[in-house]
Structure 1
């Protein structure tokens, strides 16, 4: 973590200010520039703990840690007076050899010993920073996950896909209680593209046999590449599906209509879609925020369930055989020909996904849908 990033995240974090969070301890490697910068700009004292992943996992007690550090150099110079049971010298003094020193022999030289002891005394004097051994492993793990989607070796930062690549990093599962009653509602969106600035042109949802379907006229038109997939085009301020004009609503009315549909279930809702965490969920949440319905949406929807990892789990043979897990590919495998008509139209796609989830050869249960749900708070 660079000094600038640390200051921005820990001292100028709007979420921390809103929640009255104050960071008193930083866990990290021995980069002195970061903690020095934080201490300069902070109005309170910040402690520094060594990260267990950059130190060792055997430290815990401050005094024990201090004595262990002070004993490293005497041990290396064949003075085993204060060595504990870990030292092989006490087990077999005649045949003992140092594992990590040249020729297995102890170090020699008064000047060398003095210089090394001086260095290790500095560490021993700061044993209280090493002993707790906090861990930044969760941060390192997330960095690795993000890098797998947006590799540093490739320049995705200038592309529209970058934000969504980063968003695909696996996120924690929900905190939905096992006994919470929720309605499973399938949903899908059609948009003007895949970038962060894309607009929603169709919202569809299905609960049991009840459907909701609405079209929205985009403000900037639809690129030919998107029209080629969805069949939706604009002309003269009107929206057309495969050349036939469709009735549209404003974004506000469309979002409000979706909320009314979800509330009609008389339960809190989990919204289910294929590969939705990386795209559909952030996009629908953005719409709700734009039309000032996000709070009401949060009060109605418990979270989003992405069916992609569920299909991976239920159909391991497709991964081993390197077969696609796209919804269209699964539909071709498990559903009837008539079910495939109208692909990439949202109202047809929700019906297809519902049939796939409950298909006898896949059989994803309601509990599995709940367990795979990600809360809105995590996505936001």
Structure 2
């Protein structure tokens, strides 16, 4: 009974102000005030034992309540004293016209921010950001398990398995450019041991490039000795073969070759003649650029390429846009139909020369080249996404067979770095909410890891949860 009486007395002030406490509103104002005080009285400098602390806290209160004009206005020396002073007068200094004008400008800006914060659109945005933070937190809890839980080190069989971080898709958006940028457009082509089949990247047998600058005669051509066998189709089309004595032949004639490391080094040195380069290849997005970026990664030269090459352009969709209705968009057919010319097709050097002719067509403007450009990073990210998709898609076949998700969704799940075991672990930790949070959590490009489509989520997540429950 005595304890009860003492507790009632202790909590009497709280009970008397229950209407204020029950609101449980945002702590943002308190956090803002704490931050402003810490700016004027940093803990690292220890103003606690000096009178200076009182003035710094009062200055903070005046700033929060009155804005920057408190410097030249009357402010209370202490909150409980009704005696006012003029801050600048007591200090013996004048704020001056600049200080007063700056304070007025900051006050107007504060009022603008305060009025803007009252708009419904801003309130919606705050709610959206709050929801995003909740999703991110939920996703991290589902991905990390109880890694940071208090006392986790004292327990046995603790679930601290880390789910892989999200893998971003390649986002093929136009690269930002300034009108003052002096950019060299270089046509580019590869011959390889095969096509890209089942995610397997072929080896390069020839690299060629040609400068599109008017009157320029700069060209690059290099043959590469591959480390894997060629397909019969590649030999027939390109005329490039490797003899039993490991000698590379072009149409039956022996040619000088380089290793892939040496060939890449020479090509990068050739490109460094320019400050900024955009490489153009026909069907480059689906073939030439992924093959070339893979070769660069194998010899650890991707960053060196990105120092000089600011972007890629795939001429195939560009020419489809400019010249609709063509019977065929193969490069040799476009050259024949649009330019009434022929060339040595499927020889990389002939291909880059003829592609330069097409790109110099009067209808191919700089605006089209800009609109159809994309960054080397996009190709790099897409390769990583495809590798994870190839690695993980097999484990998701039971979900596809059971009708839990369609192949498109399964490919997005697999490409984002998740396999069936990861999904099961997430469900075990956080259930449906954890799965949903992980699916819509943002990757490094600000896009949903798997999907943000509500219809897809409402269809797939319950089925997925039911699948794991069984």
- Partners of 2:146 and 2:182 in 1: CA distance: 48
**2:372 aligned with 1:263, yes or no?**
no
Match of 1:246 among 242, 248, 255: 255
Match of 1:351 among 353, 367, 375: 353
Cα offset, 1:41, TM superposition: 5.4
Contact preservation (8 Å) 1:331, 1:356: yes
Partner-residue secondary structure (3-state), 1:316: coil
Contact preservation (8 Å) 1:176, 1:302: no
CA deviation profile, 1:30-70 (whole Å, cap 9, x unmatched): xxx989845855759xxxxxxxxxxxxxxxxxxxxxxxxxx
CA deviation profile, 1:208-244 (whole Å, cap 9, x unmatched): 4211000001112322111111111110110111111
Cα offset, 1:368, TM superposition: 2.5
- Partners of 1:43 and 1:209 in 2: CA distance: 62
Partner-residue secondary structure (3-state), 1:203: strand
Partner-residue secondary structure (3-state), 1:26: helix
**2:206 aligned with 1:198, yes or no?**
no
Cα offset, 1:312, TM superposition: 1.4
- Partners of 2:296 and 2:315 in 1: CA distance: 22
Cα offset, 1:334, TM superposition: 2.1
Contact preservation (8 Å) 2:187, 2:355: yes
- Partners of 1:290 and 1:40 in 2: CA distance: 35
Per the normalisation by structure 2, the TM-score is: 0.44
Match of 1:335 among 339, 354, 368: 339
Contact preservation (8 Å) 1:270, 1:370: no
Partner-residue secondary structure (3-state), 1:189: strand
Match of 1:227 among 228, 235, 240: 235
The CA RMSD measured in Å over matched residues stands at: 2.7
Match of 2:135 among 14, 26, 31: 26
**2:398 aligned with 1:289, yes or no?**
no
> Would you say how many aligned residue pairs link Structure 1 and Structure 2?
223
CA deviation profile, 1:50-104 (whole Å, cap 9, x unmatched): xxxxxxxxxxxxxxxxxxxxxxxxxxxxxxxxxxxxxxxxxxxxxxxxxxxxxxx
Write 1 or 2 for the structure with the bigger share of helix.
Answer: 2
- Partners of 1:288 and 1:35 in 2: CA distance: 33
Determine the structure 1 residue equivalent to 2:189: 188
- Partners of 1:240 and 1:187 in 2: CA distance: 22
Higher-Rg structure is 2
Contact preservation (8 Å) 1:276, 1:306: yes
- Partners of 1:291 and 1:250 in 2: CA distance: 11
- Partners of 1:365 and 1:206 in 2: CA distance: 19
In structure 2, the gaps of 5 or more residues are 1-131, 150-168, 381-470
Cα offset, 1:366, TM superposition: 2.9
Determine the structure 1 residue equivalent to 2:284: 276
Determine the structure 1 residue equivalent to 2:364: 364
CA deviation profile, 1:103-148 (whole Å, cap 9, x unmatched): xxxxxxxxxxxxxxxxxxxxxxxxxxxxxxxxxxxxxxxxxxxxxx
Please list, as runs of the form range in 1=range in 2, the aligned pairs for 1:117-132 lying within 5 A after superposition: none
Contact preservation (8 Å) 2:201, 2:291: no
Determine the structure 1 residue equivalent to 2:376: 376
- Partners of 1:268 and 1:36 in 2: CA distance: 44
Match of 1:306 among 314, 321, 326: 314
- Partners of 2:189 and 2:148 in 1: CA distance: 48
Contact preservation (8 Å) 2:189, 2:351: yes
- Partners of 2:208 and 2:303 in 1: CA distance: 21
Contact preservation (8 Å) 1:328, 1:343: yes
Contact preservation (8 Å) 2:175, 2:374: yes
Partner-residue secondary structure (3-state), 2:228: coil
Contact preservation (8 Å) 2:191, 2:207: yes
In structure 1, the gaps of 5 or more residues are 1-22, 28-32, 45-165
Query: Would the alpha carbon gap of residues 25 and 34 (structure 1) be closer, same or farther in structure 2, given more than 3 Å must change?
Result: closer
Query: Would the alpha carbon gap of residues 299 and 36 (structure 1) be closer, same or farther in structure 2, given more than 3 Å must change?
Result: closer
Contact preservation (8 Å) 2:192, 2:204: yes
Please list, as runs of the form range in 1=range in 2, the aligned pairs for 1:28-67 lying within 5 A after superposition: 37=142, 40=145, 43=148
- Partners of 2:134 and 2:180 in 1: CA distance: 37
Query: Would the alpha carbon gap of residues 38 and 307 (structure 1) be closer, same or farther in structure 2, given more than 3 Å must change?
Result: same
Query: Would the alpha carbon gap of residues 260 and 37 (structure 1) be closer, same or farther in structure 2, given more than 3 Å must change?
Result: closer
Per the normalisation by structure 1, the TM-score is: 0.54
